[in-house]
Amino acid sequence: MSELSHVDREGRARMVDVSAKADTARIAVAAGELQTTAEVIRLVRADDMPKADVLSTARIAGINGAKKTSELIPLCHQLALSSVTVNFGFTDTTITIEASAKTKGPTGVEMEALTAVAVAGLTLHDMVKAVDPAATLNGVRLITKEGGKHGHWVRPEAEDHGEHHHRHEKHEKTTAATTPLAGAGRTATVVVASTGVAAGSREDTTGPVLTEWLGAQGFSVRGPLVFADADIAFGLADALSTEPDLVISTGGTGASPTDATPEATLALLDRELPGVADAIRQAGTAKFPLAALSRGVAGLTGRTVIVNLPGSPGGVKDGMAVLTPLLEHLLAQVAGGGSHE
């Protein structure tokens, strides 16, 4: 597109007439970050800020901002949003923000996702300013969008800020240039089920590993999205909101009372892939007998493949070893191609 859609031929601002456009499922994911101090990160993760409930307040503000986008951005259409999610992550000195918005209609939800990130980020700033008045909201940007005439769009790697779909050089060096990558042109989402990681009391030792591995396989990767065990059903629904080709979860597959990932996954599946889940269990059990206790499942919801992996680094490593030779063939079959021999 080489012209501005919101400016007419006389150079005047206008609202685009979308009455002739078809209603399609529209999804957008946006991201940003609040640059702050290590002290603020420590206080927020310990839920010990002067203003309580920092993340929950910012999450609600972001959702509310998405709903009010047409009031804030003058030429945006009023949309009936079917879903808005806002999630946060941490580095040593930043709080990362990711928002997704979904609707079915004649126009996209990019501005709703971007507004959710901006309002959530500004709310974070308000919550932490007593400790760090110099905090800065940076990099509010669109990551992916789906639907409409232009279909699937992913932020180009050349403009990537190091988020979801980056590849690590050390992985690329181990992949032959002539070997097609299983995830080339495909999307994946990583979900972590861990009450400790969600609360900030434990380090995430599995989600980043999966994100790096999938990036090396050629996927555009969203996540890791971290949820407490009790919220994993919501987490999986969030992961599916962008309709990725692949969702891999880690954690919550054991026999403890709080392990609920298999049940939440089964509720979403149209068809199971029991052989995949069994192969992952067998790979783990060969080295560690207790791996047999994993209740992880695998299957299909629509054209998305969902695979549960255990919450341990070893279990994730075994899962990656099983999935690596399967993914290209599996995803091709799910998309309607691939050999059945």
Known catalytic residues?
126
Q: Which two tokens stand for residue 72?
A: 């804030």
How far lies 312's CA from each of 98, 205, 266, in Å?
25, 8, 21
* Contact yes or no for 261/249 (Cβ under 8 A): yes
Sheet holding 94-105, edge to edge: 81-90, 94-105, 24-35, 136-146, 153-154
How far apart CA 134 and CA 206 sit, in angstroms, is: 33
How far apart CA 123 and CA 59 sit, in angstroms, is: 9
